[in-house]
A and B are shown apart, each in its own frame.
Chain A
Amino acid sequence: MFVRLIRSRGLGALALVAALLPSVVLAQGATSVLTGNVVDTQTHAPVPDVVVTATSPSLQGEQVVVTDSTGLYRIPQLPPGTYTLRFEKETYRPYTRTGIDVAADRTLRLNVELLPEAIQGETITVTGAAPVVDVGSSTVGATINQDFIRNFALSRAGGVGGAVRSFDSIATAAPQAAVDLYGISISGSTSPENSYLIDGLAVNNPAYGVLGTPLTVEFLDEINVITGGYMPEYGRTTGGAVSGITKSGGNEFHGSVWGTFTPGALQGRAKTVTTAGAVVAGTRDLYNIGDFGATLGGYIIKDKLWFFAGVQPSFTRYSYKRQFYIENPGQLDADGNQAYSLIPNSEQRRFADEKSIQFIGKLTYLISSDHRLSLTVTGTPTTGGSDSAFSVRVPGVLTGRAPFPIGAYTLQTFNSNHFLTNDTAYDVNGELNSSFLDKRLLLDVRLGWHHQIDEGAPGDGTGFDNIHNLNTLAGIPSLAPLYNSNVLDFEDQVPASVREACGTGDRTTKCQTSWNLYGGNNFLERQVLDSFQGKATITYLLNALGHHVIKAGVDGSLSYYDHLKTYGGGAWYFDFGPGPSAGGTTVVQEARRFGYLSDIDTTAGNGILNAKSKSVIIGGFVQDSWSILDKVTLNVGLRWDGQYIYDKDGLLGIKLGNEWSPRIGFVWDPTQQGRSKIFANYGRYYEAVPLDIADRALSGESLLIANHDCDPRVVGVAGCDLTTANRGSNIARPNVKWRNVAVDKTAVDPNLQPTSNDEIVAGGEYEVFPSARLGVSYTYRNLVRTIEDMSADNGNTYFVGNPGEGIATSFPKATRTYHAVTLQFTKNFSDLWQAQVSYTWSQLRGNYEGLFVNGTGQLDPNINATFDLAQLLVNQDGPLSGDITHTIKVFAAKEFIISSVLSLSLGLTYTGASGPPISYTGPSNETGYGPGQVYILQRGQGGRLPWVHSVDARLALNYRLSKDSVITVGVDGFNLFNFQNPIRVDEEYVTLPSLTGGGRDPGPIVNGTQGTIPAPYGVNGYLPRGGVVAGPNGVTLKTVVLPDPDQQPQTYAINPNWGRPTQYQAVRSFRFTARFSF
């Protein structure tokens, strides 16, 4: 489907105390297990009936179990935390093991040998040597706990986490996780494919799949990143899982007060993105960003009812600057491009603002020792923009995580980007954890509601009701000029110096530029999203030829997407010019206008489209984790999911009821002491299709198109309608003035199959010394099929299907294959130091990137433009944008003791990644798909971007006021050496129609590679770089011969900007933090 909006996201304990105090948790995320065998030291016989007691600051009261006849104990439903286990039985000396770090969703084995009482002595206490290898599962990923969050500079200001420091931004610390346009890419997938969870509640945006609730890490106790190898109890993701577990209250009152501030003034110097041949250039700089807040946890009824509450206001301000230039006729710059001179006093600045107030409230009720109930409410209300400032985000890309690009200020007017935005999510989550039959039968039930509002309204405070009032910003249509003209023709909010320099004399040759948008606001929308969820899981422990942990469960969700959308003034126009400076009459064509024809050439509708779509997902699973003689764990299970998507009329549009997910794996602990494992796992994973497809494809997007002789900014949509004229030759049409397109609901293959991945993970881990493990893992993922929309009639009609299958057999099959090998060393925080080091080699090949298109930024899950036309798929096989061959992540922290009350924490981070591939693309205007759609050579033939390095550090001073209260002040430095390597470059090798042959698009050089390009194309087998050459008529762009779509040689101007950086890595910045924990 077309892109909706073209726009061109001891004392060691001092700090430990600070971390643990507010993190007394219970129940939520209580999914971990401590298990092991108890044997007699002398006889090595199993010891039954040993009382095993688990205690932890993370656990109210105690968890008590008794070993069975085989000496096995198993303590389930443990929340993450640091545990102490005590083993007691008459005739044996008591044994205590402390310092056992348990992460979420882990099974740790701790085997114990008890000394008979006959041997004299006291209680044996062992500290800090507990096993760290998860011997229960083959899950691959990383757990980021409070130690890690406390010790390292994470969630860079202005990055994915934004001012709120959202929990998903922390996930980049995990191997095989990387930042992409809309969040965190995991194991070669795109971020909307991930499952984002808070206390088990899915908080994905139901319409687009991206993170819907960017909850601050301040409210969370731990973040668990699963990059592969998960069991059937997890489903509906072809990416990974990023799971946050909220803090809870305890039997003591604890809390914290904090503030962080990142001043823009201390930012490193940024490389300016320059565009060859530009009259306007600009920069975007962080002005300031920060947050402050407080949390408090404690009890309402001691040992019975606890609470946790928190609030975190935050703010973000960017500074946008632009300057104007004027051509130096006939002169070239050092790069051989057209030379320009800066117009003095032409600098303009605007701010872009965003504010947020996040909150959490949580109650935990212990009904009895076997039954716990909890209720959590969170909110992330966020607003942006003001009467004089941009919003950090803009409609159409509200789901983006990066602030809108500087091009929005250098190629578009202020008014066309002046929005007030509202991006708010509320979540309610209730959970019941029960156990029966001496903890052999467990029941976990969860009910939740995710509610989200994403809104972009005109910057003057007007709204949908004003789109036909020309006196309001909402009522002014926006125009996209398709010609070059004097910059003053587009933007009237320019400095006087520009008005003078560009507006005097012959304007037709000065300050010539193309402008993406001018006039009023472009796209306006209000999205209201709801997801009601439920899950029930039963766990049964069984002894039969070993120990079984049998789980079965059902879950489901009901999601709604209520979408109200329109364009400023009611319509968006293409402007064919030639523009006032050339004395021409404005000729426009409606590019987008929502409406329909009620009779012949009679328009209806008010320009506003409202569609409410729905998705029902249900699923269930059965799995058995079978520990055979405590040597090998066999994990076998099967999951089934079904998804049913309904259009705006409540009619079933997509039925995906065939999602069977087998999972099988084994874990072998050669040491049998929980200190090593060798594992392998196979699984199939299915995508949960976001509702955007129901909103845009299944419901239709009825658009009206006509040509007019008018200036919509002056006469409005109604005034233009009066001058509607048919300029086509198709006079036989029933409607000769208007065309009504995209009105029909998109047809769907009745045998549509769901998108799925097959995955194999294998590897091993070994505890090289206490609290430290070394592991290697291999991950293979292969896309089985995907869902996309396609057209068999050159873009006139679309249908939804599986490329290469069913009614889409004529299309190439979607492919995406990922291989990765990760070497990882992890040392938990103990003995005052901590480390996590990983190296990943990976390869990502195919023709399908995922749920968004990296090149254009289009985020229309399952209806992106990629597969729309078969001819645009030529040359698309190759290294995908997420193909990063080498990734190194090093985290190392040490705490230095200064005095009994003072310590210094130092955390250092190095991240390095090799560059993604670069391609040669060109426009496909003849198909209507526009820039960058034709792969002139095979994907990735333009080489690769350079490595990107960053060295970050955290330095914190911890001062203990009393036993339970600590003041910490610190500074986080990001990209300390201010490396400035490009992370994106311009890949459009050709931007203009051919100079010969009547202005054709470029076509693909089929299977073309650099060095082997056949004559007459290219130069000596290669595509040369662009630039300008001086000629008798001034400077002109360098040219190259390429095939047109008919494979006829034509001459094309080379875009001189190809290969030039369009975005550099984030500059050096410092974040100052202060925290008081009690």
Chain B
Amino acid sequence: MCKPSFLVVPLLVLLTACGGEINQTCIVQRPGLGGYLFVMDRTGAVSGGAGCDDTVLPPRMADNLRFDKLGAEQLEVVFRAQSMLPVDADGNPDFPASTGDVGRGQIGSSPDAQGICAVPSFTTANAVPALSDGTPPDPARSITLSNTRFLSAPAYQGSQAESDATYTIGACSANYHGLLLTPIATCATDADCNPFADPATGRAAGSGVNPFYPVSCSMEVGALYGEDPGTGICWFTGTTFPQVQQ
């Protein structure tokens, strides 16, 4: 006679194997967190001839990039860079008069085995006139991102990326590579980079930086981003991508 257990055990083994791996979505953090801080190092000399030197495009600099996704399938990634913002006649940042300063690229729907979602290339984002008075950018500026890779595994949710970039100011141009991190958390000490609130010590909200990232309070990055002296930014302790604590 067929014992029941002989029927059940193989069936359970079969059922255990079904289902496959779970689907994950490519996540790019939207502007709600204030954008990514892009800290980059120049990978070559500044091109463009006379006057194109470190004072125009320094060997290390920082920018704020705000990404969003568009479309029914959410496969188009767009960004605006703070450095490309137009200014009005008074020199204050203003709304762009057109969307020409938006870079556009395509992203996959799911991360790869390493949890990476790549945008191979973006269209060039050209600074455009200001909405209020049509003041054209002077000199002309543009940024082109490429090889942008977001760390989009569930634990990280796209909050870290690396990218190549080409910045052009007037006739000067240079290539860069760097890491991106969101949110941009200012700090005075390393304790301020704790991702979570600690009401017992009076910290109402945490830095929001992913708890698996090795970060510390970097005054150097704070200075790059134009923070006041004594104000740093929570930034990676290393330089390779991805920056994840083991």
Residue numbers of A with Cβ under 8 A of B are 538, 540, 550-554, 596-600, 604, 616, 618, 620-622, 640, 642, 644, 647, 651-655, 657, 726, 730-736, 739-741, 743-745, 747-750, 792-794, 796-797, 799, 801, 807, 809-810, 869-871, 874, 926-927, 1003-1004, 1006, 1043-1048
Contacts and interface: CB of A to CB of B under 8 A. Distances in A.
B204 interface: yes
Contact of B74 (A600, A653, A744): A744
Contact of B15 (A642, A651, A736, A807): A642
B157 to A, nearest CB: 5
16 contacts: A596-B72, A598-B72, A600-B70, A604-B72, A618-B15, A655-B22, A657-B16, A743-B74, A747-B157, A750-B21, A793-B208, A794-B205, A797-B27, A810-B195, A810-B196, A871-B199
A597 B208 CA distance: 26
Contact of B31 (A651, A730, A745): A730
Given A600-B102, A797-B157, A652 B81 contact: no
Contacts of A810: 195-196, 211
Nearest to B205: A794
Contact of B4 (A538, A733, A736, A807): A538
Contact of B23 (A550, A600, A647, A807): A647
Interface in B203-236: 203-206, 208-212
Instruction: Identify the interface centre among B30, B34, B94: most chain A CB within 10 Å of its CB.
Output: B30
Closest 9 CB pairs of A and B: A1045-B204, A871-B197, A552-B4, A1047-B202, A651-B23, A747-B154, A807-B155, A793-B208, A733-B31
A735 B21 CA distance: 34
B22 A652 contact: yes
Contacts of A796: 29-30, 32-33, 183, 208
A552 B7 contact: yes
A803 to B, nearest CB: 13
Contacts of B157: 747, 793, 797, 799
A600 B27 contact: no
A730 B66 contact: yes
A554 B195 contact: no
Interface in B1-32: 3-5, 7-8, 11-12, 15-16, 18-25, 27, 29-32
B5 to A, nearest CB: 6
Interface string B63-83: 010111111101000111110
Nearest to A552: B4
A809 to B, nearest CB: 8
A1003 B199 contact: yes
Nearest to A743: B74
- A604, A644, A740, A797: most-surrounded residue (chain B CB, <10 A): A797
Nearest to B31: A733
A540 B24 contact: no
Given A618-B15, A871-B197, A1046-B204, A734 B25 contact: no
Interface in B144-203: 153-155, 157, 159, 183, 195-197, 199-203
B20 A1046 contact: no
B99 interface: yes
A1027 to B, nearest CB: 28
B120 interface: no
A793 B159 contact: yes
Contacts of B129: none
Nearest to B154: A747
B48 interface: no
Contact of A554 (B8, B31, B81): B8
A745 to B, nearest CB: 4
A731 B30 contact: no
A600 B79 CA distance: 10
Nearest to A728: B31
Contact of B22 (A618, A748, A871, A1006): A748
Interface residues of B, number: 68
B68 A1048 contact: no
B95 A653 contact: no
Given A655-B20, A732-B82, A793-B33, 11 more contacts: A730-B34, A730-B66, A734-B80, A741-B30, A750-B21, A793-B157, A793-B209, A870-B196, A1003-B204, A1006-B199, A1047-B201
B116 interface: no
A726 B33 CA distance: 17
Contacts of B238: none
A741 B32 CA distance: 9
B23 A653 contact: yes
B51 interface: no
B66 A734 contact: yes
B85 interface: yes
Nearest to B65: A732
Nearest to B4: A552
A443 to B, nearest CB: 10
A735 B68 contact: yes
Contacts of B19: 616, 642, 644, 652, 655, 657
Given A554-B8, A741-B32, A796-B32, A750 B22 contact: yes
A654 B19 CA distance: 9
B204 to A, nearest CB: 3
Contacts of B12: 620, 640
Contacts of B7: 538, 552
Nearest to B9: A622
Contacts of A654: 22
Interface in B46-103: 64, 66-72, 74, 78-82, 85, 93-96, 99, 102
A736 B95 contact: yes
Contacts of A538: 4, 7
Contacts of A740: 30, 68-69
Contacts of A743: 69, 74
**In this complex, which of B20, B70, B81, B208 has the most chain A Cβ atoms within 10 angstroms of its Cβ?**
B70
Nearest to B70: A597
A197 to B, nearest CB: 22
B113 to A, nearest CB: 11
Nearest to A619: B15
Interface centre among B69, B85, B204 (most CB of A within 10 A): B204
Contacts of A651: 23
A725 B99 CA distance: 16
A652 B20 contact: yes
A928 to B, nearest CB: 11
Contacts of B3: 540
B23 A1046 contact: no
Contact of A599 (B16, B32, B66, B70): B70
A793 B205 contact: no
A605 B82 CA distance: 30
A725 to B, nearest CB: 11
Nearest to B204: A1045
B5 A600 contact: no
Max count, chain A CB within 10 A of own CB: residue among B11, B32, B34, B99: B32
A598 B206 contact: no
B151 to A, nearest CB: 12
A1047 B197 CA distance: 11
A544 to B, nearest CB: 13
Contacts of B31: 730, 732-735, 739
A870 B197 contact: yes
A599 B96 CA distance: 16
Nearest to B2: A538
A647 B23 CA distance: 9
B99 A600 contact: yes
Contacts of A809: 211
A747 B24 contact: yes
B25 A732 contact: no
Contacts of B200: 1006, 1047
Contact of B208 (A551, A749, A794, A799): A794
A1045 B197 contact: yes
A744 B25 contact: yes
Contacts of B93: 731-732
Contacts of B35: 732-733
A551 B96 CA distance: 72
